[in-house]
Amino acid sequence: MSMAYLAQAGRQQKLEWLDGGVFAVLLDSAATDGQLTVGRFSVTKGEAPPYHMHTREDEVFMLIKGTALVWSDDQERELSEGGIVYLPKNVPHGYRITSDTADLLMICTPGGLEGMFRHAGRDLSTPRPEGFRIDPELLAEAADKYGQIVLGPPR
């Protein structure tokens, strides 16, 4: 049996993302015939996306290394190393990294969410413009384009 798709670490696209974190696109919707997106975040303490919800995909993320606080609706929970979270579409959620560094694996189905990261993030294979930051207007545009609803600031 042969592999339908194989992407070695050196060939995976890496994007600069919120708070200087890195999002690696491990599998995108093109590689999975639209079935799923798999990505990996390498982030530092305090990294937190805006409180939001997905309108198109269910999301699973696993905390490979580190600790975090996770909010789903109005519930706050601690997530420790090896913990996993399932977030169905249309459920408001967010997280904040509480350890010095963290490594998160994200899986979304169906695929396509990687487009938001590509739209607003910066490909690390290109030179970093002086003073680069994720532009809030570009982030809002990307979120809207890829079915994300920002409900408020990071928690």
Please give the model's pTM, rounded to 2 decimal places: 0.93
Residue corresponding to tokens 């194989």? 6
| Structural domain range at position 116 | 19-146
Cα–Cα distance measured from residue 69 to residue 85, given in angstroms and rounded to the nearest whole number: 11
Decide: helix, strand or coil at residue 138: helix
4 assigned to some structural domain: no
Look at residue 3 and tell me if it is in a domain. no
Could you give the count of Cα atoms lying within 13 Å of 152 in the half-sphere of its Cβ? 10
Q: Is residue 154 part of a domain?
A: no
The CATH number that applies at residue 86 is 2.60.120.10
Amino acid 3: pLDDT? 62
* Residue 1 predicted with pLDDT over 50: no
User: Which string of b and e fits 93-131 if b means at least 16 CB within 10 Å?
Assistant: bbbbbbbeebebbbbbbbbbbbbbbbebbbeeeeeeeee
pLDDT (tens digit per residue) in 108-137 = 999 999 999 999 999 999 999 998 999 999
Is the distance from CB of 18 to CB of 47 less than 8 angstroms? yes
Question: Is residue 76 in some structural domain?
Answer: yes
Q: Is residue 9 part of a domain?
A: no
Structural domain total, the chain: 1
pLDDT tens digits along 65-124: 999 999 998 899 999 999 999 999 999 999 999 999 999 999 999 999 999 999 999 999
Is residue 142, in this structure, part of any structural domain at all?
Answer: yes
Give residues with Cβ within 8 angstroms of 143, minimum separation 6. Answer: 52, 116, 120, 149, 150
- What CA–CA distance (Å, rounded) separates 113 from 99? 26
**pLDDT for the residue numbered 74:** 84
Quickly tell me which residue has 């010095």 as its tokens: 100
Structure confidence by residue, pLDDT tens digits, 26-52: 999 999 999 999 999 999 999 999 999
- CA-based nearest residue to 131, from 20, 28, 8, 49: 20
